Amino acid sequence: MGGVSQGSGWSVNTTNGIVTFTTAPATSVVVSAGCAFDTSVRFGAEIDEVFDLSIDSFESGGLDNIPIIEINEDGTEIQDEFFFGGATDHGILSASISISINQGRVHTFQANAAGWKINLPVTTNIPTGGPHFYLVNQGSALVEVRTSTGTTVGTIAAGIIGVIVLSINSSGSKIWLLA
């Protein structure tokens, strides 16, 4: 507080991120905080080929950039070039549809009759997080959103935009969520 590190006198609720002070700081005191993230990574293949280190003088040296690649919990790489753009207009639904990452992030459709379903892709090679999809129901009826195995994720009412994210449940499995 006020530019001085405080090792005590506060606590953090790790579920919601709320910081609580034992004694509240004065109104004019600037409060700042830092944090660390635990992300699974591995070194890039280049590190095995060339690891350039120079010792220029006593207590002085240099090291080239070390490539670090983020990995999923199953060990697969998270692609730097993951495609997050684009859109597909599915028009008036006359059948249930399946969507994919390659069709873009925004999917518009008109569900004018009950019973249509939007099937989400298999989660295997899709990184967690998101949003991965924005589902825009421009019709007059509910549409059900399901996983590739047929499990219902939720429903999107007429005139509503559903936001789809990919999370990990308590068993460590990837799951689609509708926000």
The span from the CA of 66 to the CA of 157, in Å, is: 48
Residue 93 and residue 166 in one domain: yes
The span from the CA of 169 to the CA of 83, in Å, is: 24
For range 142-162, the mean pLDDT = 94
Residue 25 and residue 91 in one domain: no
Residue 92 and residue 117 in one domain: yes
The span from the CA of 144 to the CA of 150, in Å, is: 10
Q: What is the pTM of this model?
A: 0.56
Q: Please tell me the predicted confidence (pLDDT) of residue 79.
A: 65
**pLDDT band per the 50, 70, 90 thresholds, residue 24:** confident
Residue 65 and residue 122 in one domain: no
What lies within 8 Å, CB to CB, of 109 at 6+ separation is 89, 90, 91, 92, 93, 97, 118, 135, 136, 137, 138, 139, 143
Domain span holding position 7: 1-35
**pLDDT band per the 50, 70, 90 thresholds, residue 63:** low
- Indicate whether 146 pLDDT > 90: yes
Total number of domains constituting the chain: 3
* Residue 76 is assigned to a structural domain of this protein: no
